[in-house]
Structure 1
Amino acid sequence: MEKAVLDNAHDTWIQKDQEDPDNHEIANIDWIPCKDFTINLGSKQIEEYISTWELHPSWLFSLKFLEEKELEFHKQYHYKSQWSIPTARTPIPKATACVYFIIQISKIKPPTLPVEVYFQVESCRLTHRPGKTRFREKWLRDVIESKTLLRDTVDF
């Protein structure tokens, strides 16, 4: 499933500036220049960006580097953040939601420009860009709810 999401990430429509009906500020961070990028620094920047999301503090996530892709005009670095709300009753939740990130470094643009970053919520083909879309906690809840409903309909 991860592979399918990653393969479709650049082929799907990328969301343009989104009007926020609640007039919330769309958070972003200062992304590093391409010349300074490392996989570890990419992880730290994604975590810094995630910290700008307005989420209930009960949400926990882990971030994992998945792969590096060499393409004709750029390199892509793929990461997966996996989200859940553990509780005392269910410290290991039965369902999680993932948000996939791609950090892209151009081979033809000046290396002093910042990295390009895209993210996709699991089970959604829409590709978002930091600073253009306000992340919604509802997206994570919807993924977990749909997995829970599916699990409840299947007999193992």
Structure 2
Amino acid sequence: MNVTKNVKFQKEVDVDKGPYKPDDGYRRHSKSLAKNAIAAAIKSMEEAENPIKYIDWITQGEFTEERGRKQMEEFISNWEYQGRWSHYTEFLKREDVIHSFHYIYCVHWNIPTAWRPIARTTASVYFTIKINTNKPPDTPIDVSYVFESHSFVHSFVGCLRNFQLDLKPLDTASASFGVSPCLDGSLEKGIYFSQEGGHVILANSVLLGPEFKLVFSIRPRSLTGTLIHIGSQPGEHLCVYMEAGKVTASVGSEAGGILTSVTPKQSLCDGQWHSVTVTIKQHILHLKLDADYSSTAGQHPVPTARTQEHLHIGGVPANLKTLKLPAWKSFFGCLKNIQVNHIPVPVTEAAEVRGTVSLNGCPDH
């Protein structure tokens, strides 16, 4: 496996300024070359803050987009950085190059500051996995990566409305990152997802396995939307979503999938909080809504606990919308009190907030 780190080597002396005579310049130029080589080596060692460490890299025949993402996660787990940093690995795109395919990933780091309007520090690393179509399947994958500059951003704190440019209202933003909606009145505990759409990502926070329990509460303002999605690939996941007022829990594994649903008699958009409980035990999937509705399905394999998975709240990234589920619309409303296996999930440690989402609370009406 070839791993290449992009490091700048700065040439301090130009050793090719013209012809020179061996009798009077050979020693001088040899000394300059040696000095430059030593300086470059020292500089590269100083800049290589995260030295390459061995992991069990997969071959080209074993490669998939998701296995590549997990290799990135395993690789960066050997790096040394402060624990208060959170990271999230994302597959960006595939580029078709002559005799090869380039799979590009990005690892985003940031220091979560959702509860405090202070400056945010971010950093990114871009990985490229090259698959050479002229080489046999047992050839190790070729990996390179490059660091993006750190940034220290002082964000605007407050509400901004009716923004115009040249006396013309601007269109709704096509994308937003970490933008909280302007909320009037008093707030209560919870996450608020606006009508514009958005979701929260908690990286590597859940171990999805054959014995599993998920509990949370919702107060929806729309009857269709993704509530919770656990997993980073279509093959193995747990998804809880609403479709026209019906609440469904779906579990997928490499061997297949199962789902179960409940349909309440009264609309869930009644301004009240409703509890949702999803339990997996002995290959049985059980869904409970409040104390009145429940449903069970089973007799199919469920995911085997292997790695920590991402927990997506209120929606999912575009690269996960390959599952054949009927509802991929973002959740509109409030969600709170998430527990996994009886342990509260701290949303303030969110690795990433996309779209218009408030972690600071929900309107109390």
Matching of residue 46 in structure 1 with residue 72 in structure 2: yes
Structure 2 runs not aligned, ≥5 long = 10-40, 156-365
After superposition, give the CA deviation of every residue in 1:13-49 in whole Å (9 maximum; x if it has no partner).
Answer: 9559x66469x96413121000010001001000000
1:113–1:60 Cα change, 3 Å: same
1:121 paired residue number: 147
Q: Name the CA distance, whole Å, in 2 between partners of 1:45 and 1:75.
A: 17
| Map 1:1-156 → 2, pairs under 5 A | 14-15=6-7, 20=45, 26-87=52-113, 89-90=115-116, 94-123=120-149, 143-145=150-152
Shift >4 Å, 4+ stretches: 13-16
How big is the shift at 1:93? 5.9
Q: Name the CA distance, whole Å, in 2 between partners of 1:120 and 1:29.
A: 19
How big is the shift at 1:122? 1.1
Between structures 1 and 2, the one with greater strand share: 2
Larger Rg: 2
Question: What amino acid sits opposite 1:83 in the alignment?
Answer: W
Contact 1:86 1:92 in 2 (8 A): no
Q: Name the CA distance, whole Å, in 1 between partners of 2:139 and 2:78.
A: 22
Q: Name the CA distance, whole Å, in 1 between partners of 2:57 and 2:83.
A: 24
Instruction: Supply the RMSD in Å over aligned alpha carbons.
Output: 3.4
- Partner secondary structure for residue 120 of structure 2: coil
Structure 1 runs not aligned, ≥5 long = 1-12, 124-142, 152-156
1:98–1:114 Cα change, 3 Å: same
Q: Name the CA distance, whole Å, in 2 between partners of 1:45 and 1:91.
A: 34
1:69–1:89 Cα change, 3 Å: same
2:280 paired residue number: none
So what's the TM-score if we normalise by structure 1? 0.62
So what's the TM-score if we normalise by structure 2? 0.28
How big is the shift at 1:57? 1.2
How many corresponding residue pairs?
118
